[in-house]
Amino acid sequence: MFEVLEGGIQTTVQDYPGRVGYLDLGTYPAGPMDHFAFRIANLLVGNPQGAPALEVTAGGLKARFHDSRAVAITGADMQPTLNGTPAPLWETFAVGPDDLLELKFVKGAGLRAYLAASGAFDVPEYMGSRATFTVGGFGGFEGRGLKKGDRVRLKPAGAPAGQVGRRLRTDRRPQHGTHWEIEAMRGPQADPDYLTAEDMDFFFSHPWKVDRNSNRMGVRLESHKWQWARKSGGVAGGHPSNILDNGYAVWTVNVSGDQPIILVADGPSLGGFICNATLIYASSWKVGQLMPGRDTIRFKEVTIDEATALAASIDEAISERSIERR
């Protein structure tokens, strides 16, 4: 049992890869915004990588454990404490009955921390996944963020001793900063048919400020006066960003009027605006750590071959080979 004393800004149960297979029925996958930190947390405590764990956004979580577990916290540094004593990041530690775990509000780089416990959080499966879909209010724990008084069940787990002291190798730890470089591929709708080459040059060189109004649906960037390669959207609408509705890839950059929005975990599956670039699998975790109103992004264009090579290297990083013992 995991007893929530304070839920924080937004703490949700997620699993990976989330609710996959329902895009044609209008449902984005949900799941962790930073899948790298999420999967590492599970690996550290000996769970399958995709097992249900907590995503803590911006911090403020306070909770009590009712039994013995191996626990790992990864992602942004929220100065976690166990009974008031600093607890490590990216490293497994043991908790016991009545232990109080606290994550403060994030001060430095990054936005989201992940908390995995051995055995994993036990919430009902909904449409094949245990991930919380905040827009539809389903999945996870009652389809919502955790709040004071919630008691989340955990599945039975063995003694924590075997996992304690497992940690992510220092050279495999992601560097969180406030200025991010995020790899992306051009398209599906870019230059020369929708935007001009100058528009795309600007897109791939400008340091984009992350808008305050960003969440698990979309990470909004600042508005920009695009040149556009066409005068209007024709049959699809008056604005040149309008197209006949099409499916939106997860992690695509949607240009809605003048504003680019990265569509993320709980985003819309379909819509009538162009998407000029799409993040790749290996870089997508970074959007989970972007602090709204503070961080900036520079998109780095990669080819499909570069994306494939980066995918292999992140998969290699999310494996036992990255784990060492203290």
Partner 1 sequence: MPGSHAGNRAIIDVLSATATRPAVTYRYAGDRFILVEYGEMVLDLTTNFRIFGLNDALKKAGLDGLIETVPALRSMLLHYDSRRLPTRELVATLKKLEETVPAGENLNIPSRRVELPIAFGDRWTRADIERYVKYTRQDAPNIVDGHNIEYIARYNGLRNVQEVVDYVCATEWWNACIGFWPGLPFMFPLDPRYAIVTPKYNPTRPWTPEGAVGIGGPCVAIYPVESPGGYQLFGRTIPVFDLKQRNPAFRANPILLKPADRIQWVPVTDEQLESTRERVHAGTYRYTIVGYEALNVKSYLGFLEGIKPEVAAFQRRQAEAVKHVAIP
What residues make contact with partner 1 under the rule CB under 8 A? 20-27, 127, 135-138, 143, 184-193, 234-236, 243-252, 268-271, 275, 278-281, 304, 307-308, 311-312, 315
Smallest distance, Å, CB 115 to partner 1? 27
Residues whose CB falls within 8 Å of the CB of residue 175, separated by 6 or more in sequence, listed in order: none
Do residues 7 and 263 touch, judged by C-beta distance below 8 A?
A: no
Residues whose CB falls within 8 Å of the CB of residue 260, separated by 6 or more in sequence, listed in order: 203, 208, 220, 221, 224, 253, 254, 276
Smallest distance, Å, CB 299 to partner 1? 12
Smallest distance, Å, CB 313 to partner 1? 12
Using the structure block, give the residue that is written with the tokens 């998109």.
299
Of 146 and 307, which has the nearer Cβ to partner 1? Answer: 307
Of 26 and 257, which has the nearer Cβ to partner 1? Answer: 26
Alpha-carbon distances, residue 258 vs 210, 242, 274 (angstroms): 15, 11, 11
CA dist 15 and 29 (Å) reads 10
Smallest distance, Å, CB 244 to partner 1? 5
Of 2 and 194, which has the nearer Cβ to partner 1? Answer: 194
DSSP assignment of 124-139 equals: --BTTB---BTTTTBS
Q: How many CB atoms are closer than 10 A to CB 226?
A: 22
Using the structure block, give the residue that is written with the tokens 């919630």.
150
Of 33 and 280, which has the nearer Cβ to partner 1? Answer: 280
Smallest distance, Å, CB 40 to partner 1? 19
Do residues 143 and 136 touch, judged by C-beta distance below 8 A?
A: yes
Q: Distance between alpha carbon 44 and the CA centroid of its chain, in Å?
A: 18
Smallest distance, Å, CB 10 to partner 1? 20
What single DSSP character describes residue 38? H
Of 90 and 194, which has the nearer Cβ to partner 1? Answer: 194
Smallest distance, Å, CB 226 to partner 1? 15
Of 44 and 279, which has the nearer Cβ to partner 1? Answer: 279
Q: Which amino acid is at 12?
A: T
Do residues 113 and 103 touch, judged by C-beta distance below 8 A?
A: yes
Of 143 and 165, which has the nearer Cβ to partner 1? Answer: 143
